[in-house]
């Protein structure tokens, strides 16, 4: 086997983290271990999804509503528990906050305080599960600050600049993991025969401009005029094409690789938009800025937004610099 191919097959996620940090410091080792555990969560979730039509527990609703007021899918709960399980006995993660849990989950056993917190969206795009369409998991790693006596995780109510790492797993025709620890954006593809995520692309840079605009036009009647004016603009000008998968992770991944813009503006029903800051918009904003793109609420950078509540929603405009600027010009003109 040519040396390069063998080396590449051995460039697993945990090795890549240490290569990126050029260090074996305790923090580097922590991040390498954390990413390795994230990879395990991704493999377990991908495996479960692949059995959707073959066994119970994957498709359909679990019954009940989550804090978001959404009907919870069985897969939401399964993946939520997968992330908790893979971090038990890690000694690294003391607390997990997710879309599916009103309050964070505290890992009871030996977890030295002041270590890491995982914030995550266990299954993003749940409405796609029963139609066998792409879904994802989104995550970010933050340091726990203080000992969170109140159990309210108030130290999580800080801006996206507090993220040490962020990424997502896209469960598509292949299972792809994209991450950044602040040294660029890198992607890995799961090789099921090895059970490892193998390096695919390094230092991904989003194109300055792309033809894709990704938005749910079914909300047209609920938007501000400024957004409607933007949509009328792309309808009337050559060179734009609409793509919307119903899963943020899939739409984001397309734009990261091919350019363009994704937007989920505020609506009449959800003036602050639908997407949640802590475990959807902020992790993706971290990635997009690392890839040379932009992410804003339309008025300010997502990375600078300080949440007041754990499940706070924000409007999101994210993608190629030129295309985000165009959307912002309509929004800011309207202000």
- Binding annotation for substrate: 124-127, 216, 244, 274
What is the rounded (10 degree) CA torsion for 270, 272, 278, 283? 100
Q: Which is nearer to ligand AHG, 246 or 321 (CB)?
A: 246
260 three-class SS: coil
Dihedral angle sign, alpha carbons of residues 295, 75, 312, 224? positive
Any contact of residue 100 with ligand AHG (CB under 6 A)?
A: no
If binding means CB under 6 A, how many residues of this protein chain bind ligand AHG? 11
Neighbours of 89 (CB within 10 A): 11
CB of 124 to Mn ion, least distance (A): 3
CB of 309 to Mn ion, least distance (A): 16
Site string for ligand AHG, 107-136 (x = CB under 6 A): --------------x--xxx----------
Q: Which does 42 bind (CB under 5 to 8 A by kind): Mn ion, ligand AHG, none?
A: none
What residues from 33 to 72 belong to the interface with Mn ion (CB under 5 A)? Answer: 70
Any contact of residue 99 with Mn ion (CB under 5 A)?
A: yes
Instruction: At 310, list the tokens.
Output: 């754990």
**Alpha-carbon 191 to chain mean position:** 21
Contact with ligand AHG (CB under 6 A): which of 13, 16, 35, 99? Answer: 99
Any contact of residue 121 with Mn ion (CB under 5 A)?
A: yes
Nearest to 290 by CA among 181, 141, 193: 181
Any contact of residue 321 with ligand AHG (CB under 6 A)?
A: no
Which part of the chain contacts ligand AHG (CB under 6 A), choosing from 39-47, 176-184, 229-237, 242-250?
242-250
What residues from 184 to 223 belong to the interface with ligand AHG (CB under 6 A)? Answer: 216
- Rounded Cα gap, residues 52 and 290, in angstroms: 35
Q: Which does 216 bind (CB under 5 to 8 A by kind): ligand AHG, Mn ion, none?
A: ligand AHG
Any contact of residue 130 with Mn ion (CB under 5 A)?
A: no
Q: Which is nearer to ligand AHG, 121 or 196 (CB)?
A: 121
- What is the strand order of the sheet 163-171 is part of? 105-106, 93-98, 116-124, 135-143, 163-171, 175-180, 186-191, 196-201
Ramachandran class of 305: left when φ > 0, alpha when ψ lies in -120 to 50, beta otherwise: beta
Any contact of residue 94 with ligand AHG (CB under 6 A)?
A: no
Nearest to 324 by CA among 283, 301, 294, 304: 294
- Rounded Cα gap, residues 165 and 142, in angstroms: 7
Residues forming the site for ligand AHG (CB under 6 A):
70, 99, 121, 124-126, 216, 246-248, 274
Residues contributing to the site for Mn ion (CB under 5 A)? 70, 99, 121, 123-124
């Amino acid at each position: 086997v040519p040396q390069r191919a063998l080396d590449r097959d051995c460039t697993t996620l945990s090795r890549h983290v240490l290569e990126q940090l050029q260090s074996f410091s305790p923090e580097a080792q922590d991040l390498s271990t954390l990413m390795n555990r994230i990879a395990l969560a991704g493999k377990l979730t991908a495996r479960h999804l692949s059995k959707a039509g073959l066994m119970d527990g994957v498709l359909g609703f679990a019954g009940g509503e989550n804090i978001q007021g959404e009907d919870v899918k069985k897969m939401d709960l399964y993946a939520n528990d997968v992330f908790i399980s893979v971090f038990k006995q890690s000694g690294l993660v003391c607390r997990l906050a997710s879309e599916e849990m009103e309050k964070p989950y505290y890992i009871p056993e030996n977890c030295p305080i002041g270590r890491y917190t995982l914030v995550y969206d266990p299954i993003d795009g749940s409405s796609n599960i029963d139609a066998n369409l792409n879904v994802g998991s989104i995550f970010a790693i933050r340091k726990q600050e203080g000992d969170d006596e109140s159990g309210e995780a108030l130290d999580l109510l800080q801006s996206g600049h507090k993220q040490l790492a962020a990424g997502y797993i896209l469960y598509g025709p292949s299972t792809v993991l994209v991450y950044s620890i602040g040294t660029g954006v890198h992607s890995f593809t799961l090789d099921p025969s090895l059970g490892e995520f193998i390096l695919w692309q390094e230092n991904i840079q989003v194109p300055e401009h792309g033809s894709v605009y990704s938005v749910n036009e079914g909300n047209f009647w609920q938007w501000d005029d400024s957004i409607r004016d933007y949509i009328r603009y792309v309808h009337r000008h050559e060179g734009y094409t609409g793509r919307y998968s119903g899963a943020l992770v899939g739409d984001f991944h397309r734009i990261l690789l091919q350019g363009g813009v994704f937007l989920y503006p505020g609506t009449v029903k959800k003036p602050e938009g639908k997407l949640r800051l802590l475990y959807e918009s902020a992790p993706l904003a971290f990635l997009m800025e690392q890839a040379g793109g932009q992410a804003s609420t339309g008025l300010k950078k997502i990375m600078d937004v300080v949440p007041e509540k754990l499940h706070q929603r924000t409007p999101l405009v994210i993608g190629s610099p030129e295309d985000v600027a165009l959307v912002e010009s309509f929004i800011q003109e309207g202000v």
